Amino acid sequence: MSATHFQLDPQGRLLHFLTIEGLTRRHLTDILDTAESLHGVAERRVKKLPTLHGKTVVNLFFEASTRTRTTFELAAKRLSADVLTLNIATSSAVKGESLLDTLRNIEAMQCDMFVVRHEQSGAAEFIARHVKPHIAVLNAGDGRHAHPTQAMLDVFTIRRHKPDFAHLQVAIVGDILHSRVARSLIHALNILGAGEIRVVAPRTLLPAQVENLGVRVFHCPDDGLRDVDVIVMLRLQKERMEGALLPSEPEFFQRYGLTEERLTLAKPDVLVMHPGPINRGVEIDSRVADGPRSVILEQVTNGIAVRMAIMSITLGNHARPAGEAV
């Protein structure tokens, strides 16, 4: 059984959130609508809802992260969950304990959700297949495979500015080959019926047969950015690169970096996005990143509401076995 079907119950409800691929427009719209209803929580005097009161969420991060980890923590706390963030660098896993042993020990603490980030593709699905039935697993990024909550906060940000996806032209620029963000975002945009998805990158940073994902390929940024509604710049995934795929960072910026001059090729109301962290002067000029068309900080803010939505939906579809302690 694939991860796509494994994350759904027989009624098609989300039990885990492991990948965008294979989900329906209804699934994505439900998340987006729920996130919209939660977006105003941060503006309240008391920034909390009782939705997950009595639930325990464990952040299980085997890979370094600041933005994703902290927004998941805030999302869980704003839903009144108890939150445990496991420091893998000092955990028993470093001392040789297996991943399954680590999971079993955390399960014994009566937790309800694992938020998993791991450098290996498929790690979140592996964990979801081995946890107790009442535990929900959310994928916070696994290797080059998927980053589904990032994709959802990206499309949520787009929808708040440009709700008609059918007429959108979106350009995703940079290191497509190593980017789990790009893969998940492409799937989400296709499911939501985006008019055209472009990928703009040198040949060395494109997966083989990338056209099969439903995108148009451009090697020249001037062509790829022309008349687009949204530009998503990707971070160079230097930690995942095998071999010298680029001559130098300055040359990449010269050929593919988003400058004010290149920005004029897009539509006047274009949105500029980046999943972060930004490499200024490598993928994007600071004047563009901090400029009036940038919604990069909005993405961070929106990530809290979107992750709140996904947590409430998935945990709402789980039930503990009768008689099990809560």
Question: What predicted TM-score, i.e. pTM, was given to this entire model?
Answer: 0.92
* Whole-number pLDDT of residue 248: 76
Tell me: pLDDT of 122 over 80: yes
Query: Per-domain residue ranges for the chain?
Result: 3-147+301-316, 148-295
Q: Are strands 56-61 and 271-273 parallel, antiparallel or unpaired?
A: unpaired
pLDDT band at 4, cuts 50/70/90? low
> Cα(6)–Cα(44) distance, rounded to whole angstroms?
37
CATH architecture classification, 3-147+301-316: 3-Layer(aba) Sandwich (3.40)
The residue to which tokens 């592996």 are assigned:
126
Supply the pLDDT for residue 323. 43
Alpha helices per DSSP H over the chain: 3-6, 25-38, 67-78, 99-107, 123-130, 148-161, 180-191, 221-224, 249-256, 260-263, 286-289, 296-316
Mean pLDDT of the chain: 89
- The pLDDT, as a whole number, for residue 250 is 84
Q: Between these two residues, 72 and 47, which has the higher pLDDT value?
A: 72
- Matching CATH topology for 3-147+301-316 and 148-295? yes
Give me the mean pLDDT over the 243-248 stretch.
62
Q: Look at residues 211, 156, 161 and name the one whose alpha carbon lies nearest to residue 189.
A: 156
State the greatest distance between any 2 C-alpha atoms of the chain, in Å, as a whole number.
Answer: 64
Coil, helix or strand at residue 39: helix
CATH of 148-295, one of 3.40.50.1580, 1.10.150.130, 3.40.50.1370, 3.10.450.100: 3.40.50.1370
